[in-house]
Structure 1
Amino acid sequence: MTVADTTSPWIRQFAPSPEASSQLVCFPHAGGSASYFSPLTRMLPAAVEMLSVQYPGRQDRRHEPCCDSVAELADHAARALRPWADRPLVLFGHSLGATVAFEVARRLERDGIGPLGLVASGRRAPSRHREEFHHLSDDEQLLTQLRNLSGTESRVLGDEEIMRMVLPALRADYKAVETYRASPGAEVGCPVVALTGDDDPLTGVEEVYAWNEHTRGPCTVHRFAGGHFFLTPHAAEVTRLIGEYIAKWLASPPTAQ
């Protein structure tokens, strides 16, 4: 078995499991970090090892320049993941992370190491664009947007020093997702599973079902009670669902149409 390069600052491995038969790669939301997904590690089946992507400009990478485009994030993440492709990869992204994961999947497929599947959470399909300019807002407006989505613990939002450190990364992430435009006909060959909260102000039902326009494989949609961060209260259910899809794909690897 090929030994993966564990030195990349882009990849976090919270609980190494070299005997696992597949790897779930998690991509954070705007302003989020790799550690957002660490609680999921103990919920995953033993056969699935979790990797999490750490964007620059936050936590232990806070002194590095932020990336402010999806293309740049995807280029770096895809490059960092190539050494890990000795076992099947499944990409799982939430919000901004879903868009980055989609672009990473396209890059890995071009390299001949496409993922088993893509799980897109809390994000409309790549072709469903809305004009949004939160990245141009002042600091207080940006924080208000974050509070409205409940994407960060209230104690963190009330800590001025922490928020001052988070804001540059948050602004860069918003710019990345708000200026993203999918290439005409952009698609992946792997199956897509789209997850959404039924009260998410950022993602309408039609916008979620439109993910089926971006895969040559099957597309399945699952709706959960909650808003944009429905994933937090439904973590166990979402993790179980992903584990079931991974087992299904491993048993009968999907073939792109």
Structure 2
Amino acid sequence: MTSGSGTVTSPWFVRPQSADHAARIFCFPYSGAGASAFSAWPAVIGDVELCPVQFPGRENRLAHPHYGTYEDLADSLVEPLEPLVDSPFAFFGHCAGALPAYETVIRLAERGLPGPACLFVSGQPAPHEASRDRMLTMTESELRAGLESVIRGRGMVPRPDMIDLGMGVLLRDLEAARAYRRTEPVRVRCPVVVLHWRDDPEVRLDQLEGWRQYADSVDIQVVDGGHHDFMYARDELLGLLTSWRDSSAARKREPKGIA
């Protein structure tokens, strides 16, 4: 929906999108999280607007039915994205959030809509290896302890009611992760940049190599920090996330060949 001010509003996005910026990055949160995972990120980097995606069934969309599967999530997201893909854009997905981001790239192509200029994957093995996710084998007590640790890491006190609410979201998200199966890679047209967090105890660098089957251009970059340090929006990460804009500008400046 477009408001009178020229901005696009939708429950899928916590910030209204403006037509004042040259490009956008749509940010997909990890299992159990919502758009607030990107609350420390700036609204704009240079000429790039950052657009956290809010999945249904959490935070300000807690009353909305859970999305069900990653495939259903991607199908549902295409329509609200359609009015926003008229300018250059990229996708960023952290951990399991990279999987519905990838599925959305496929859905856009299937419907003849513009695709992203780049897909950024942060700390997540390739789709055909997603079932190896350590969280899928963790007990509820282990998951609860992990959730408490993440909340403390964000400077908050993990109250029991907060943990109970978060566990409800996390368990439903993990059901979607368990149901996800893509045994045959589908190659996307855009470059894929895979980020490995140097101090990540959950995902090893070699576990990210499977993404090389998913695009003609796959670049694996090592960045400083641990698994959840993406939330702090450090300069190194933000610089990488806007690098595709530099590449696009360089291509436009290249002299055209003569046929």
Distance 2:7 2:137 in 1: 37
Single out whichever of 76-85 and 94-103 deviates more from structure 2: 76-85
**Conserved in 2, the CA contact under 8 Å of 1:11 and 1:80?**
no
Distance 1:104 1:232 in 2: 22
**Conserved in 1, the CA contact under 8 Å of 2:94 and 2:121?**
yes
Q: CA RMSD in A?
A: 2.6
Distance 2:224 2:13 in 1: 31
Aligned residues: 247
Give deviations 1:132-159, integer Å, cap 9, x for gaps: 5856866433212335xx5333564621
Q: CA deviation at 1:197?
A: 1.1
Q: Which residue of 2 aligns with 1:239?
A: 238
Q: CA deviation at 1:167?
A: 1.6
Greater radius of gyration (CA): 2
CA 1:239/1:133 → structure 2, altered by over 3 Å: closer, same or farther? closer
Single out whichever of 198-207 and 138-147 deviates more from structure 2: 138-147
Give deviations 1:94-136, integer Å, cap 9, x for gaps: 0111111111111112222111110001111112244458568
- TM-score for the superposition, normalised by structure 1: 0.84
1:8 is paired with a residue whose SS is coil
Q: CA deviation at 1:234?
A: 5.6
Are 2:37 and 1:36 aligned?
yes
Q: Which residue of 1 aligns with 2:109?
A: 109
The one-letter code sitting in structure 2 at the alignment partner of 1:12 is V
Specify which structure has the bigger relative contact order, considering alpha-carbon pairs within 8 angstroms and separated by 6 or more residues: 1
Q: Which 5+ residue runs of structure 2 have no aligned equivalent?
A: 253-259
**Conserved in 1, the CA contact under 8 Å of 2:223 and 2:237?**
no
Q: CA deviation at 1:9?
A: 1.2
Q: Which 5+ residue runs of structure 1 have no aligned equivalent?
A: none
Single out whichever of 194-203 and 112-121 deviates more from structure 2: 194-203
Q: CA deviation at 1:90?
A: 0.4
Distance 1:78 1:140 in 2: 36
Query: Percent identity of the aligned residues?
Result: 29
1:41 is paired with a residue whose SS is coil
CA 1:161/1:84 → structure 2, altered by over 3 Å: closer, same or farther? same
Distance 2:162 2:249 in 1: 42
Q: Which residue of 2 aligns with 1:176?
A: 176
Distance 1:209 1:60 in 2: 36
Q: Which residue of 2 aligns with 1:121?
A: 122
**Conserved in 2, the CA contact under 8 Å of 1:27 and 1:97?**
yes
